[in-house]
């Protein structure tokens, strides 16, 4: 019985430690050491005049989760956590944003182009309490451009 409890206690300790830290703060995963790596961190940012956008995420296979923050001049700061998937070079995710006064769930789509992420724009609708693109296959990639940066 002691032998079978040891792996369970190690797993429980690992899960508890994981719950207490951000998925993107694991320094062991800060770089992708080879093309075969399936779990690694990615970080992107955009600083344009007085506007800042930051993304810090953990890629595992074709899934991705992390944080996305918008600090736009003369607007409420918007910070959120997201979960999504890569579809080829396109990231589609649902992000839960929190502002000073509210919480909302919104679909975000980005196109990965070399070391850049280009945010999608298009018409949005409310569906089941979430803000989503009305025609996600017809979005335009003409929004904010984020550049790949080292993860901190």
Of residues 69, 149, 72, 73, the one with CA closest to residue 116: 149
pLDDT for the residue 35: 56
DSSP type of residue 4? H
CB 40 within 8 A of CB 150: no
DSSP type of residue 21? S
pLDDT for the residue 74: 83
What does the domain layout of the chain look like in residue ranges? 2-148
CB 57 within 8 A of CB 65: yes
- Which stretches within 2-118 are classed as H helix? 2-19
Three-class DSSP category at 3: helix
pLDDT for the residue 75: 80
pLDDT for the residue 89: 94
CA dihedral sign, ordered 57, 98, 95, 68:
negative
Q: Cα(103)–Cα(116) distance, rounded to whole angstroms? A: 28
Three-class DSSP category at 102: coil
pTM for the model:
0.74
Q: Cα(27)–Cα(108) distance, rounded to whole angstroms? A: 26
Predicted confidence pLDDT, tens digits, the chain (152 residues): 444 333 333 322 333 333 333 333 333 344 555 555 568 899 999 998 889 999 999 999 999 999 999 998 888 788 999 999 999 999 999 999 987 788 899 999 999 998 999 999 999 999 999 999 999 999 999 999 999 999 98
Three-class DSSP category at 82: strand
- Could you write out the DSSP letters of every residue in 113-142? ETTEEEE-B--EEEETTEEEESSGGG-B--
Tokens of 151: 């993860």
């Amino acid at each position: 019985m002691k032998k079978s409890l040891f792996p369970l206690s190690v797993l429980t300790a690992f899960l508890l430690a994981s719950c207490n830290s951000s998925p993107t703060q694991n320094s062991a995963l800060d770089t992708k050491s080879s093309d075969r790596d399936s779990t690694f961190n990615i970080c992107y940012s955009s600083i344009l005049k007085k506007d800042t956008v930051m993304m810090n995420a953990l890629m595992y296979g074709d899934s991705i989760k992390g944080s996305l923050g918008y600090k736009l001049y003369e607007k409420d700061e918007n910070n959120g956590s997201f979960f999504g998937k890569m579809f080829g070079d396109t990231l589609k995710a649902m992000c839960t944003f929190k502002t000073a006064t509210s919480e909302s769930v919104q679909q975000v789509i980005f196109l990965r182009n070399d070391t850049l992420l280009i945010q999608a724009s298009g018409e949005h609708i409310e569906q089941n309490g979430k803000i989503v693109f009305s025609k996600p296959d017809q979005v335009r990639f003409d929004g904010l451009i984020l550049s790949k940066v080292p993860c901190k």
